[in-house]
Structure 1
Amino acid sequence: MNDAMLKALTKARMQLGDWTERRSRDRGQTAVEYLGIIVVVVAIVVAITGTDIGKSIKDAITQKIADLTGGK
């Protein structure tokens, strides 16, 4: 094996080690991000169901479905 190949392999191995170390530190971060998304979705659903906006959205969707299917 020549020096250039040995240097390239050594550099690749070091970068792989750095990548796996960063990946293991970020493992818990994903769970927190999913929890944040769930909290936002729940807040939106609660806001929609707690106001007249939810009824307006439901009525508009129902009307569009009726228009497409030829119903009332």
Structure 2
Amino acid sequence: MNDAMLKALTKGRVRLGDWTSRRSRDRGQTAVEYLGIIVVVVAIVIAITGTDIGSTIMTAIKNKIAELTG
């Protein structure tokens, strides 16, 4: 094996190692991000169902469906 090929393979191996170590560090962070998204969605659903906005939206949807179906 010549020097150029050895250097290229070593460089690729180092980059692959860096990439895999970064992926393993991100696992916990993504779980926290998903939890945050779920909390936001639940808050929006509670806000819609707990106020008159929910019934207004439901009425508008029913009206549009009735218009489309005739």
TM-score, structure 2 as length reference:
0.94
In the TM superposition, residue 22 of structure 1 has moved relative to its aligned partner by 1.1
CA RMSD between the two structures:
0.8
Counterpart for residue 61 of structure 1: 61
Corresponding letter in the other structure for 2:2? N
Counterpart for residue 50 of structure 1: 50
Identity percentage of aligned residues: 83
In the TM superposition, residue 3 of structure 1 has moved relative to its aligned partner by 1.1
Counterpart for residue 9 of structure 2: 9
Question: Deviating runs (4+, > 6 A) in structure 1?
Answer: none
Corresponding letter in the other structure for 2:13? R
Matched residue pairs, number?
A: 70
Give the distance between the partners of 1:51 and 1:5, measured in 2 at CA. Answer: 67
In the TM superposition, residue 48 of structure 1 has moved relative to its aligned partner by 0.7
Counterpart for residue 23 of structure 1: 23
Counterpart for residue 37 of structure 2: 37
Return 5+ residue gaps in structure 1 as ranges.
Answer: none
In the TM superposition, residue 30 of structure 1 has moved relative to its aligned partner by 1.3
1:2-29 deviation digits (Å, cap 9, x = unpaired): 1111111100000111111111111111
Give the distance between the partners of 1:27 and 1:10, measured in 2 at CA. Answer: 27
Return 5+ residue gaps in structure 2 as ranges.
Answer: none
